[in-house]
Chains A and B, each alone.
Chain A
Amino acid sequence: MNIHEYQAKSIFKSYGVPTPRGIVATTPKEAVRAAEELGGDLWVVKAQIHAGGRGLGGGVKLARSIEEVEELADQILGMTLVTHQTGPEGKVVHKVYIEEGADIKDEFYLGVVLDRAKEMPVIMASTEGGMEIEKVAAQTPEKIVKVAVDPTIGFQGFHGRELVFGLGITDKNEQRKFIDFASKLFKIYMDKDVELIEINPLIRTKQGDFLALDAKMGFDDSALYRHPDIAEMRDITEEDPDEREAAEHGLSYVALDGEIGCMVNGAGLAMGTMDTINYVGGTPANFLDVGGKANAQTVAKGFEIILKNPKVKAIFVNIFGGIVRCDRIANGILEATKMVDVHVPVVVRLDGTNAAEAAEILKNANIDNIIPATDLLDGAKKAVAAAKGDLK
C-alpha cells in the first residue's frame, strides 16, 4: 500500500526526521489558511497523488504571495495530472500540500528498500538528488552509495560513516546530522514494515541542515494488520476501481490493453496464459488470478470484471485443477454463466484432477458460446480465433 507525501511526512515528523512545515488542503480557501498559518514569504503548492514526476507534470509550484497560493491551489486541485508514472490517463488531484519554501543549497537522494539478494534492507544514497534513481543507476552507478544493514544489529555508526564519506559530506556537524537522519529513516523502515522509503530530494540548506523535501512510502500489505495507524492512511481514490473490486472478492486483477480476457488459477499460470496468448498472435486484456478456490461465485465475479472492459472480444478460462476438482469447476462455470450475461465466446480449458468428467459436463451443457479446449496451447489458439470471429 502506498501513501501520500503529506502522510509520509507526518510519520517522519513523529520520528524526528526533519521536514519543512506543511499543511494539507482540499480547497483553495483551505490552502490560503494553511499558507497564512505557516507564515513566511515563500510557499510550495504540491499535488498529492500516488505517482512520481509531479514536478515535471505541473503539480509542484512555488508561490511568492498568498494570492498566488490561492491561484495555484485552484489550478492544481481537480486537475488531471499526467506524469511518466500515471499513464496517459493521468490522475485527478484531490488534495494539495502547502509547504514552507526551503532554502536549497544542494539536493541528495536517500532511500531504503529490501535488497532481495542480500535478504536485508539496503540504504541507498546519491548526490544526484532530484533525478530519478533508476536513471542515476543506469547512467552513473558510481554515484550511488549502497549500505546494507543487517537488522539483527541495526543501524550502527559505521553504516552512517560509509554513507557520509560515500557522499562526500566533510563537515563534521553535517556528518552528524546526516547520520542521525539516515538512522531515523532506517528505524521507520523496520518499525512500520515499510516496503520502500524514498526521499528525492533530500536537501542541504545553506545553514547546513538536512531536510526531506519529498517523501514516498510503500508498505508491506501482509503486515498492515499490525499497523492500524498506517492502514487508516489508505486512499481508495488512488486505486483502480476494478482492481479494488476484484481484491475485495479475493481475486487479483490487473487491466491490460488487449482483446482476450483471461481467467486463471494461480499468478504464475495467469502470466503464462497471457504470454501464450501473445505467443499465438493474440493480445491479453488482463491478468486475473482467481486463486485456489475457483467456484461459481468467484468465476461469476471474474466474468463481471473482465466484461466491464469493452475491448474484450473473447474470454479464455484456463484452470489447472489441483486439489479443487475440474468437474466442480466446470459446474461453477456453468452456474456463473447464469449469474452474469456473458456475451462473448468463452474458451474453457480445464486440466488436472477429473478433467475428463469436466469436459463431459461442458459438452452436455451445450451452451453456444462455451468452447472447450484440450490444453493450454489449444485454448490460447481457440481464444484468439474466437476473438477474431473465426470460431463460434
Chain B
Amino acid sequence: MSILVNKDTKVIVQGFTGKEGTFHSEQCIEYGTNIVGGVTPNKGGQTHLGKPVFNTVADAVNATGATVSMIFVPPAFVGDAVMEAADAGIELAVIITEGAPVKDMMYAKMYATKKGMSTIGPNCPGIITAEECKLGIMPGNIFKKGNVGLISKSGTLTYEGANQVVQAGYGITTAVGIGGDPIIGLSYLQLLPMFENDPETEAIVMIGEIGGDLEIQAAKYIKENVTKPVVAFIAGQTAPKGKRMGHAGAIVSGSAGTAKEKMEALEAAGVKVVVSPAEIGKAVKEVLSK
C-alpha cells in the first residue's frame, strides 16, 4: 500500500515534449512510472519517448484513461494547464513548475476543487511511492521502500529526510513534496489522514518551514486524530523577520509564522520535533523502536 499513486496509476505529462518535461519524464519512465502519454498543443499524433502525444488533456484522457497528470508547462501557462486537467476529469495534478503567479494558482485551485481534482504543488519536487511510481524531479534511487511516510514543503529537505530514514535502516512508503508557495494543493491536513489510514505507513516525517500557519493546523489535527508517531522539522529557526527565504511563502511577517511557534505547537501535540534536519533519521529510529 501507499498513498495517492502506485505502479498501476496511469499518468500523462503536460508539457511532455519540452526540455524539462522530456528529461524528467524519461527518468520517471525508467523508474517504472506508468506514463501513458503526454500533451503538447500542435504535436498531437506524434510519439515522444515511445508514448503518444495529444493536443489536449481531454484527448489524452479519452485515449488512455489516465487519472493523474504531471505538469511541466512554463509558469505563465500553468494556471491554464491545471484548469484544463480539472476540466478533462483528471483526479490528481502534480504541478512541478516554479514561479507561477499566485493569482493564477488561486483561480486554478478553486476550479480544481469545484471539479473534484486534487493538486500537489506548484513549485515542488512531486510525489513518489517508493519503487513503484515517481512523479516529479526527485532522485528516485534514494527512496527505498519501507514504512515511513514523508510530507515536505522543501525539495532538497525531502531528499535529506528520505536519505536519513533509509540510512537509519528504514524506508519510505510515499513521499510528497507539497511546495512552499503561498497557495498550494494537498497539504498536511489532507495528507496526514491518508498516511494515518495507510496500513504500510508506521511513522510520519513532516518537514515544514517558516511562513503561514499550515504547520499549526497540522499540529491541531495530529493531536486529535493521528495515532502513528510523527517526527517534524521546521526550517528557518535562524531566519530573520520580514525577509523572504527563497520560497515565496517562506517569510515571517509580524509575529506570525515563526519556526518557534510551529515547533511549540507540534511538540504540544506529541510530535517528536528535531532542531536540525540532521537529526531526522535518529528521531525516526527512536519513535519506531519504542
Chain A residues close to B by CB (< 8 Å): 85, 114, 116-117, 119-120, 134, 137-138, 150-152, 190, 193, 195, 220-223, 225-226, 252, 254, 256, 264-272, 274-280, 284, 287, 289, 292, 320-323, 351-353, 375-377, 380
Contacts and interface: CB of A to CB of B under 8 A. Distances in A.
Contacts of A120: 106
A152 B276 contact: no
Contacts of A151: 103, 106-107
9 contacts: A85-B242, A119-B183, A152-B107, A222-B75, A268-B247, A376-B278, A377-B278, A377-B279, A380-B276
A267 B154 contact: yes
A143 to B, nearest CB: 16
B243 interface: yes
Interface of B: 23-24, 27, 75-76, 99-104, 106-107, 109-110, 125, 137-139, 141-142, 152-157, 159-160, 163, 180, 182-183, 207, 209-210, 212-214, 217, 233, 235-240, 242-250, 253-255, 259, 275-279
Contact of A274 (B99, B100, B142, B238): B238
Given A269-B160, A275-B238, A353-B139, A289 B278 contact: no
Contacts of A375: 278
Given A119-B110, A252-B246, A271-B239, A222 B101 contact: yes
Contact of A271 (B101, B106, B236, B248): B236
Contact of A223 (B103, B139, B153, B209): B103
Nearest to A253: B246
Given A271-B235, A287-B239, A220 B157 contact: no
A256 B154 contact: no
Query: Which residue among B139, B210, B253 has the maximum number of chain A CB atoms within 10 Å of its CB?
Result: B139
B254 A137 contact: yes
Contacts of B163: 320, 351-352
Contacts of A85: 242
Contact of A138 (B217, B246, B255, B278): B255
B139 A323 contact: yes
B157 A266 contact: yes
B245 A267 contact: yes
A284 B237 CA distance: 11
Nearest to B155: A266
Contacts of B155: 266, 268, 292, 322
A143 B100 CA distance: 35
Query: Which residue among B76, B99, B233, B278 has the maximum number of chain A CB atoms within 10 Å of its CB?
Result: B278
A268 B182 CA distance: 15
Contacts of B242: 85
